[in-house]
Every structure is written in C-alpha cells, then in structure tokens.
Amino acid sequence: MNLLRTYILPRLLQWVMVVFVGITATFLIPRLSPVNPVDEMLARMTAFQSMDPDSFAAMRESTIALFGLDKSPIEQYITYWSRLLQGDLGPSFGNFPRPVSDIIATALPWTIGLLGTATAISWTSGVLLGALAGYYHNRRWAQVIERFVVVAYPIPYLIIAFVLILIFAAWLQWFPLVGGARGDPGFNWEYISSLLYFGFLPALSIVIGATAFRFIMAKSLTTTEIASDYVQYAELAAVPKRKIMLYYVARNTMLPQVTDLALSLGAIFEGALITEVVFAYPGIGFITYNAIYNGDYNVIMGVTLLSIVGIATASLLIDLLYPVFDPRVRLR
Amino acid sequence: MGTIIETNNLRAYYITKAYGVERTVKAVDDITLRIQEGEVYGIAGESGCGKSTLLRVLLNAYEPPLTVVGGEVIYHLDGERVDAADMTEEHQRDLRWRTISYIPQGSMHVLNPVRRIRDSFHDFISAHRDVSKSESFELTANYLRDLGLPEKVMASYPHQLSGGMRQRVTIALATILWPKLIFADEPTTALDVVVQRGVIQMLKDVQQKEGSTLILITHDIGVHANLADRIAILYAGKLVEEAATQTILENPRHPYTRFLIESLPSLDSREERLSIPGRPPALDRPPSGCRFHERCPLAMDICKTIEPALIEIAPKHFTACHVVEEELSHASAV
C-alpha cells in the first residue's frame, strides 16, 4: 500500500499532468499558426472555378460554423476535451467528415511495422556489436566495425535516404521509389513480400543511423564498465570471461539501454516524418505532414496526442519497472 | 617454515611513449625480498614510493606500461619453485583465489552493484571449484558466520551495506577459498578508525585460522604495528630498511624510517609532530646516489654520488644508508 502511495501514485499523477499540458499546448499551437483550415479548403474548391463573392463569403461562414470554429477558443477547448474523453478525436478538416481516429487507424500499422522493425533491428545489433567491440577492443574486427560506424554516424539522415534512393531505386532499380505495398491487403505471400519489398529502403535508411548511434553508446558504456573496479577484480579472480561479459559488463550497461529502448518504442507513435515523406510511405509521419500543410487541426491534435501518450507511457513504464532492473533504485 | 615468495633484484618500470618522447618511471628499482610462509609482511612508505606497483608485480597482475625490466619473482608453492615470468595464463588463473588472493583498497568498488553478495561469492567460488549454487551459498554462509558477519548480507546488494561491512565482505570474498598467500593493498584506507579496528581484527583472524601468509601494504604505520611481523620500508622505489616490527618501531636506523616513526602521534606527548622536510622525488628522474639525500639532514658527500647497499646491521635488520654504515665501522674500529 505504501509502495502505491509513495512510488506509483506520484508517477501516475505526473503522467496525467504531462498529457494534460501536452494536449493544451497542441490545442493552441495550430490555432496560432497563419494557416487556416477553412481558407485552405475553400482555396482547393475554388482553384479551378470562380465563385461570386457573396456566396463565397456565405460558404466560408457555413464552413467555419460546420468545423465549430465560430465559437470562442475557450468553448472550442472545452468541446474538444468533452469529445476526447468520449474517445472521439473529431473530424478531419482536410478530408471532411472522415473521423481522425479512422485516418490514424489506417496509418498506424504502417508506422508501427516500419519503425518497430527498424528499432528492434537497430537496438539489438547496435547494443550487441557495441558491447562486443567494447569488450574485445583490441581485436581487429572490432576496430574495423568501429571505423565504419564512426564514418557512417555523422552523415545527415536526408543524405543517407537520398543516396539509398539514388543507388537502389533509381540506378539499380532493385527497390521501388515510393509507396507502402502492392496488391490487395491480405494474409498471403504476395502481399507480405511486397510489404518487405517496399519497406526495405525506408527501414534501412533508419537502421543505419540508429544502429551507429547505439553502437557508439554501447561501446562507450562498455569501455567505462570494463575499467570499473568490479570487472577488474573479477578478471583478477579468474572468473570465466563469458560470465564477466554477461553478469558484470552487459548487465550494468543494460540499464541506460533499456531506457533508450523504451523511449524509442514510445516514440514510434509520432512516426518518422522525414522518412515517410521522402519515401511517400503511408504512415503517421506522412499524414502529419499533410495535416500541417492543410491546417488540419484535428489530425494534428490526434497525432500529437498519440505521440504524447506514447512517450509519457513509455517513461512511466520505465519508472515503474526500473527497480526491477537496478536494485540501487530505492523505493522512496 | 620456508620462503613462499621471493624477489631478486626486481626492477619494474612504467615505460610510456607519447609523441616520440619516451618516459620511464622507475617505480620499483632493484628490490630483493624473501617472505616466509605464515608471516605477516608489511610494506610501508609514502604515496608514490612504489608500494602498489610492487604489489602488482608480486601478484603477477600487471599490464603495459608497467614492465618488469630486470630481476625475477619466484613463488614456492607446494614444494615447487615457480618463476612468475614463466607461468602460463592457465596456470596463473588456476592459482588465483585458490592459492594466491588479493584484498583491494577499502575505497574501491569491487562488488558488482547489480548482483547480490551471495551471487558474487558463487561467481568467484565456481570459477575455481566445481560447486553448485546451493553448495557455494552454504560455504559462504558458514564462512561469514565464522568471521562474525551477519548472515543477512548474503541476500543484500553492495549498496545496502556500510563501507566497513563492504570491506569485510570483500575480505571474505578474497579469502573464501583459504589461499596460502594473501596480498592486501591499503585494506583499511578510507575507513574510519573504529571500523578500521574491526577490519584489522578480521584480517588477523583470517590469517591465523589457516596460517596464511599476508602481505600487507599500507602507508599507515599504526596498522603495521597491529598486524605485521616484519616491515619493509620503501622509499622512491627502493627498499631502505627491513626488520621485525618491534625493531622498526623502537630502533629504526635509516633516517627516513626515523622520520616516519617520529611523525606518529602518541598518547604520551602532545607536542606538534615534525613532518619530513621536502617532498618525495619524481621517479622518472630519481636523485643520484641515495635517493633520500635531498631530504636527509645527515647527508654526506658520498650520499650524493654513490648508492648505498642494503646491509645487515644486526641479525635480520637490513638498511641501506651510508651514515649508518659509517657509524658501524667507527664502532667496530673502537
């Protein structure tokens, strides 16, 4: 009971505060931007035909009323919360009246598939290779990997993405330029293989940088760890190397790595904006980009809400689970 | 009782090369020691005199830049004469903890912070004996009980123990397999005096139980007075005096040893203690002749040029000092 009151409850409250403040901020920011969803929509409608000014003004009025933007910001804010608490994210303004939750539900599996796989691959390989390269730092293969990573890591993401596109999509034409999959969705080899085929380049572009980052982190953590008194002492006592690597080095470097993994998994929900735009991949990042472009308040709100909840929940879980990983974290 | 470990004219230097500039630090220079089985041998001297370097070499656990450039370290284990330099990696790993063990400084964090004490014990025991987890736990529990440590430390993590308790657990961890030869490097440093007392008592118990040989390194003469049978005084990488503890404390001959002993506080007199003038020399360019001559109030001309040899001035009392040598020759001439 004491644990609940002193450890769990404050963190749950913190979670609620973060989500509340985050939602309020994302409510305000698009409304302060110069892009207006009504004008964007009317501009699209009148792009190829003229309309007489009076009916244009009337239409503008009715659209504003339809979107609920004629009310004061306070009223809109209250309406938003009352709808949100019923699980309703409201309609999209860009694709009126398609509900935002529907748009997100369509895009989310793409992003989870792409980023989930990329995060799993880059975290596992980065952490493993980094730990091995740190532990066997005198070996030749470790030095070769490190040189490679040190060169790859500082290359800006956009350049990696474009070089991959140029080489594999434009020049060799091994992989498609844009898109998510081919054929009708279904659990058949044709569709699933096309998912891998289309997802390969975007995933690779993310994996390169993310692996390099985790490799560097894991290697430096391991280097610090093998110089620690307890590793040196266990080596002196001739404790088997495999045991030292596992229970003395890796076990201790895991602590920050687990935090990193949880936050990365939480961050999946915000999508990979640049990747998805560059590869025209139909995920969360892509709809976010379009929503910002069109001033689609409700989609921006929906996506941001998802990412705030994702990250806040990930850090809440880390906080709650950390005592399991690190005995030094005392329950205060 | 025979000799268990000896060094002959041991020289161990730190040789570093940076940007083409070679630098040699003569941390251990021409040291010859014979340590007897079952004794407590103290090595004393101020910081930077080469105590810990000597210990690393005696333990045969050193890596470049530390290099043995001359002399040898010989172990006499189970009637076998083993040269440390010829030992295979395997033989070395085999000896560790079962025969030769090491107690680190009290301030060091040698216990894995994310492992329970009993699991650390199991790691160290199972590295040398074919035991199951429950067997090591039982062995550990019995040993801790023998040494008067509470059994609840078994399930604790290192951070849950006090500094003194951590050091006691470390001593238990180092000696759990009853090694014949135990090296202890500043085992009481960084502990307060009350805790020091307990740790010293525990070292005594451990050493006496099986008659192990304890090589004790500390700058604290008080600790040596409590534990050591014989004391060696190191100055700037050289052995300057060696004798039984009683002799060193009551009748030190080398001027440096005298300064050390005189600087000890005592309960009888409350006057201010004199410190040794000057500071220890840098070992990359040690002074010529006797390395202490720059700080020695008795220094003669010969001290500046010729290195004094270690001579036996009384039975089992060795010192390396021209002044003492001259006094002796005068005394015998009269």
Residues 158-177 of B with CB under 8 A from A: 159
Mean pLDDT across B31-57: 89
How do residues A29-45 score in pLDDT, each as one tens digit?
878 877 777 777 777 77
Mean pLDDT across A172-189: 77
A238 vs B contacts (CB less than 8 Å):
92-94, 96-97, 127-128
How do residues A219-228 score in pLDDT, each as one tens digit?
999 999 998 9
Does residue B43 have a pLDDT over 80?
Answer: yes
Q: What is the largest CA-CA distance in chain B?
A: 72
Does residue B71 have a pLDDT over 90?
Answer: no
Flag whether residue B87 sits within 8 Å of chain A, measured between CB atoms: no
Nearest to B240 by CA among B297, B291, B275, B274: B291
How do residues B166-222 score in pLDDT, each as one tens digit?
988 999 999 899 899 999 998 888 788 888 888 888 888 888 888 899 999 988 888
A328 vs B contacts (CB less than 8 Å):
113-114, 157, 159
B56 vs A contacts (CB less than 8 Å):
none
- How far is B110 from chain A, CA to nearest CA, in Å? 4
Compare all CA atoms of chain A with the CA of B96 and give the residue at the minimum distance. Answer: A237
Angle between helices A251-267 and A100-135 (to 10 degrees): 160
At A330 the pLDDT is: 64
Using pLDDT thresholds of 50, 70 and 90, give the confidence band for residue A331. low
**What domain range is B71 assigned to?**
3-99+179-288
Q: DSSP per residue over B174-218, as a string?
A: HHTT--SEEEEESTTTTS-HHHHHHHHHHHHHHHHHHT-EEEEE-
In this complex, the residue of B59, B109, B124 whose CB is nearest that of residue A229 is: B109
Residue A294 structure tokens = 């069109």
Inter-chain contacts counted by CB atoms under 8 A, chains A and B:
62
Residue A237 structure tokens = 């006592």
Flag whether residue B61 sits within 8 Å of chain A, measured between CB atoms: yes
Whether residues B159 and A327 touch (CB distance < 8 A) is answered with yes
At B268 the pLDDT is: 73
Flag whether residue B155 sits within 8 Å of chain A, measured between CB atoms: no
Using pLDDT thresholds of 50, 70 and 90, give the confidence band for residue A144. very high
pLDDT higher at B108 or A207: A207
How do residues A93-143 score in pLDDT, each as one tens digit?
777 788 888 898 888 888 888 999 999 999 999 998 998 899 888 889 989
* CA distance linking residue A135 with residue B283, whole number of Å: 33
Nearest to B111 by CA among A230, A249, A56: A230
Using pLDDT thresholds of 50, 70 and 90, give the confidence band for residue B26. confident
Q: Say if residues B233 and B260 touch (Cβ distance below 8 Å).
A: yes
In this complex, the residue of B102, B108, B114 whose CB is nearest that of residue A229 is: B108
Identify the top-confidence range among A153-162, A179-188, B269-278. A153-162
Whether residues B112 and A327 touch (CB distance < 8 A) is answered with no
- How far is A238 from chain B, CA to nearest CA, in Å? 5
Flag whether residue B112 sits within 8 Å of chain A, measured between CB atoms: yes
Compare all CA atoms of chain B with the CA of A253 and give the residue at the minimum distance. Answer: B114
A239 vs B contacts (CB less than 8 Å):
123-124, 127
Each as own residue / partner, the long-range contacts of residues A56-64 (CB below 8 Å, 24 or more positions apart, any chain) are A63/A38, A64/A38
Whether residues B93 and A252 touch (CB distance < 8 A) is answered with no
B102 vs A contacts (CB less than 8 Å):
236-237
A248 vs B contacts (CB less than 8 Å):
112, 115
Mean pLDDT across A298-305: 87
* CA distance linking residue B15 with residue B258, whole number of Å: 32
Whether residues A229 and B93 touch (CB distance < 8 A) is answered with no
Does residue B282 have a pLDDT over 90?
Answer: no
Whether residues A233 and B104 touch (CB distance < 8 A) is answered with yes
Residue A129 structure tokens = 């290779």
* CA distance linking residue B168 with residue B87, whole number of Å: 31
Neighbours of A196 (CB within 10 A): 12
Q: Is residue B330 in a domain?
A: no
Mean pLDDT across A178-196: 76
Q: Residue B94, exposed/middle/buried by CB under 10 A (0-12, 13-18, 19+)?
A: middle
Summary mean pLDDT of chain B: 87
Does residue A167 have a pLDDT over 80?
Answer: yes
* CA distance linking residue B137 with residue B140, whole number of Å: 5
Does residue B141 have a pLDDT over 90?
Answer: yes
Whether residues A237 and B112 touch (CB distance < 8 A) is answered with no
CATH number for the domain that contains residue B254 = 3.40.50.300
**CA B234, B238, B240, B241 torsion-angle sign:** positive
Using pLDDT thresholds of 50, 70 and 90, give the confidence band for residue A71. confident
Determine the 3-state secondary structure of B270 from DSSP: coil
Q: Which of A138, A221, A225, A239 to mutate to test the interface with B (most CBs of B within 10 A)?
A: A239
Flag whether residue B137 sits within 8 Å of chain A, measured between CB atoms: no
The radius of gyration of chain B's CA atoms, rounded to the nearest angstrom, is: 21
Homologous superfamily (CATH) for A110-297 = MetI-like (1.10.3720.10)
Does residue A87 have a pLDDT over 70?
Answer: yes
Determine the 3-state secondary structure of B140 from DSSP: helix
Q: DSSP per residue over A242-305, as a string?
A: HHIIIIIIIHHHHHHHHHHHHHHHHHGGG--HHHHHHTT--SHHHHHHHHHHHT-HHHHHHHHH
Residues of A with CB under 8 A from a CB of B: 228-230, 232-234, 236-240, 243, 247-248, 251-252, 255, 326-328
Does residue A1 have a pLDDT over 70?
Answer: no
Determine the 3-state secondary structure of B228 from DSSP: coil
* CA distance linking residue B36 with residue B39, whole number of Å: 6
Q: How many domains does chain B fold into?
A: 1
Model ipTM? 0.87
Mean pLDDT across B271-285: 78
C-alpha torsion A277→A278→A281→A284, nearest 10: -30
- Beta bridge partners of residue B14, listed in sequence order: B25, B66
pTM: 0.79
Q: Hey, where are the domains in chain A?
A: 110-297
Q: Say if residues B223 and B188 touch (Cβ distance below 8 Å).
A: yes
- How far is A289 from chain B, CA to nearest CA, in Å? 45
A38, A51, A272, A298 from A45: Cα distances, Å: 11, 10, 30, 20
The radius of gyration of chain A's CA atoms, rounded to the nearest angstrom, is: 25
Q: Say if residues A275 and A313 touch (Cβ distance below 8 Å).
A: no
Determine the 3-state secondary structure of B18 from DSSP: strand
B63 vs A contacts (CB less than 8 Å):
none
At A332 the pLDDT is: 44
Compare all CA atoms of chain A with the CA of B129 and give the residue at the minimum distance. Answer: A239
Compare all CA atoms of chain B with the CA of A249 and give the residue at the minimum distance. Answer: B112
